[in-house]
């Protein structure tokens, strides 16, 4: 396909595709899917070889969030039967993190529900970061605590945090349909604060919330403008008890197209397959490794992932290798800047409607192990 040849050439040159080209990737047919994966794989291998970075989530504080994000099982008013607990102590969080590091994780992601941290919360997380880094030499720590106030990113950086995650989630045009207690601009501001403080910015999206192809392209181009080092691609887990419980809109093929579009738009950025990987990609997960260069090991915030050993076996079976702590994730040139400016163009015609998949609630398991419980973590 001329489209894919063009996208590969642009990806190898770190040149931004047009919106029309990004939309065309999402509109490709199932017959073209392997060609799309192969093309995105060429770009992935150019900048990241066959390495897969493993990240491990530690949910420091679960549930009871005052925000009303429709996709979230921890949201205000959620009836999802998830684990709910207050802040883990630093030694408890460090113990949970150690399990992930022992399983091969290079980065530990510390997440807490809530609108944003108080200064006391930042102090608490600083102690947790110190405990984790003291016990696990070479590990990266990423904090994800919500909206940041002035000076908090600098304090986290001073405490030893390497990165900060705050996702845009969806396009600016549709953001108000998903969340009303904060704005898209609030999220952009927090990512910019992390950048300015010298933290590696991590910001991504959630696909499968009923958005259009144009919405997906909008949010990915918005992410490119922010220039994060890491872009997690989440696939909605439609938890029972949340407003989006009936939004089973994704197929494995659709997920692969979305990942490929992200790779073409941000070719030299760490693209991470995040929440919903097992639920929506299912047996197609190994193919996704040809596009993305990063995954979460084990469980997620409030849902269970596949066994950590299964993740490691999948990586090896697909011919990839786990990235070590002595290896640098990003290409050398990323230290001097990111993807570059964004080009825009008219939208491409919408593709043919895809078959609506059946709800697979049997694949969604509420997390009952690891942080906040007496049971061993999945790593």
Residues known to be catalytic:
65, 69, 72, 109, 142, 202, 272
d(CA 370, CA 99): 9
Write out the DSSP string of 10-64. HHHTTPPPPHHHHHHHHT--GGGHHHHHHHHHHHHHHHHTTEEEEEEEEEEEBS-
Cβ–Cβ < 8 Å for 292, 259: yes
d(CA 223, CA 335): 18
Q: Over the range 301-338, which residues count as b (16 or more CB within 10 Å of their CB) and which as e?
A: bbbbbbebeebbebbeeeebebbeeeeebbeeebeeeb
Q: Over the range 221-249, which residues count as b (16 or more CB within 10 Å of their CB) and which as e?
A: bbbbebbbbbbbbbbbbbbeebbbbebbb
């Amino acid at each position: 396909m001329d489209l894919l040849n063009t996208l590969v050439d642009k990806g190898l040159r770190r040149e931004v595709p047009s919106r029309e080209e990004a939309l065309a990737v999402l509109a490709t047919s199932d017959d073209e899917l392997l060609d799309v994966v192969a093309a995105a794989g060429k770009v992935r291998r150019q900048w990241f070889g066959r390495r897969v970075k493993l990240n491990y989530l530690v949910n420091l504080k679960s549930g009871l969030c005052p925000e009303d994000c429709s996709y979230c099982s921890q949201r205000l008013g959620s009836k999802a039967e998830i684990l709910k607990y207050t802040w883990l102590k630093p030694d408890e969080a460090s113990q949970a993190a150690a399990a992930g590091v022992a399983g091969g994780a290079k980065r530990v992601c510390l997440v807490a529900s809530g609108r944003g941290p108080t200064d006391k919360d930042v102090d608490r997380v600083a102690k947790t970061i110190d405990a984790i880094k003291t016990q696990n030499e070479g590990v990266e720590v990423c904090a994800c605590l919500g909206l940041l106030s002035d000076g908090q990113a600098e304090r986290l950086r001073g405490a030893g945090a390497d990165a900060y995650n705050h996702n845009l989630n969806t396009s600016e045009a549709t953001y108000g349909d998903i969340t009303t207690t904060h704005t898209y601009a609030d999220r952009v501001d927090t990512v910019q604060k992390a950048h300015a403080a010298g933290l590696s910015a991590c910001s991504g999206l959630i696909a499968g919330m009923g958005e259009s192809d144009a919405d997906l392209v909008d949010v990915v181009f918005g992410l490119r403008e922010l220039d994060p080092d890491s872009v997690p691609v989440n696939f909605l887990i439609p938890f029972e008890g949340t407003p989006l419980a009936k939004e089973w809109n994704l197929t494995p093929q659709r997920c692969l197209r979305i990942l490929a579009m992200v790779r073409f738009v941000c070719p030299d950025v760490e693209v991470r397959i995040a929440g919903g990987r097992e639920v929506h990609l299912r047996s197609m997960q190994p193919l996704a490794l040809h596009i993305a260069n990063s995954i979460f090991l084990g469980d997620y915030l409030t849902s269970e992932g596949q066994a950590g050993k299964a993740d490691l076996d999948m990586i090896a079976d697909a011919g990839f290798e786990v990235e070590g702590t002595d290896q640098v994730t990003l290409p050398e040139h990323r230290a001097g800047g990111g993807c570059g400016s964004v080009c825009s163009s008219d939208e491409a015609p919408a593709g043919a409607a895809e078959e609506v998949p059946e709800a697979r609630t049997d694949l969604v398991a509420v997390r009952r192990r690891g942080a906040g419980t007496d049971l061993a973590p999945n790593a």
